[in-house]
Amino acid sequence: MTVPPEAQAHQADRAVQAAVTAAAVRAVWGSVDPENLEASWLTQAAVAAELIRAGQLAAASMAEAWLTQETGPGEGAVNPETAVAAAGDLTGPLLYPLLIALNRLRRGFSVAMSILSGAAFLEMVTRSLVADAGRIADIAGMIARPRVVSYVRVVHLPACARCIILAGNEYSLSDGFLRHPRCDCTLAPRRPSDTWELASPGDLFAEMTAAQQRRAFGEAGAKAITEGADIGQVVNARRGMTTVTRYRRTVQATTEGTTRRGFYASRRKKFEKVPGSKYARAKTPRLMPEEIYRLADDREHAIRLLKRYAYIV
């Protein structure tokens, strides 16, 4: 038996949400004035931000109901808004499409091609932001459920080579989720009593058509794998998550939601001024769910920390 159908369905629902959100945001970008690109996009960016946040919230809101159905209730409910905040600030992602388009124009590309380049980036980053918010909620919800001991990476074809070689891998809840822009892979919770087998990269490769294999691995790579080469040796797909140095060690943390108006910051009492900014942030760094599980002494401790850092309420 492969990864449970419910996990595959959960991934499909997330992918649809990401696609719908990306289409809506791209439509907003498509309404910019070609003759006044910068001013018109800066006016429309707020609309795009609202659409992205709505898509992220919808994706993160799927976690609690799905996990409750799969593994039962947890020690507190996942807070979708906190997962959205932890996915990152939208200022940069919404500015880059404009910068890309303006750069293309300066290099002599046509207005239409320049706008198209910005649209492609915006669609990619929108899909990524929606997927990230959903995965953050998933991991927080799994940690809050003592029966869950690990998670399995769920990959649905068609997929890129980097994801395929990680298909079916089982990870500790403290392991960061390796992903790339526009990655739509999700997670399946695993309990000690689960007996379903893990889908391997080789299984997925065998399911692919020759065209899909060439598209994912390149013609030479696909041929090498067909002839017996190890997929992991053909594709270097190891990517680590961003880390910061806190507590005299390297940890996975986020600054999102840590200003005075943020949900996490509203529970903190001590703040410190951010150099070069008018804002003050919570003095205590806000850890990511994976880091919380890594630092916790036991499951009860992890749940307390999830509540402290506002991932479950």
Strongest mean pLDDT among 56-60, 81-85, 150-154:
56-60
Strongest mean pLDDT among 103-107, 248-252, 254-258, 280-284:
103-107
**206 Cβ neighbours under 8 A, 6+ residues apart:** none
What are phi and psi for residue 114, nearest 5 degrees?
Answer: -65, -45
State residue 273's pLDDT score. Answer: 62
The DSSP letter of residue 78 is B
With 60 as the cut, is the pLDDT of residue 198 above it?
yes
**139 Cβ neighbours under 8 A, 6+ residues apart:** 151, 173, 177, 187, 289, 290
pLDDT higher at 164 or 238: 164
What is the C-alpha to C-alpha distance for residues 52 and 146, in angstroms, rounded to an integer?
Answer: 32
Least confident of 60-64, 90-94, 117-121, 166-170: 166-170
Least confident of 73-82, 85-94, 108-117, 218-227: 218-227
Residue pair 199/168 in contact by the 8 Å Cβ criterion: yes
Sketch the domain layout of the chain as residue ranges. Answer: 244-297
What is the C-alpha to C-alpha distance for residues 7 and 167, in angstroms, rounded to an integer?
Answer: 13
**Rounded (5°) CA angle 81-86-87:** 100
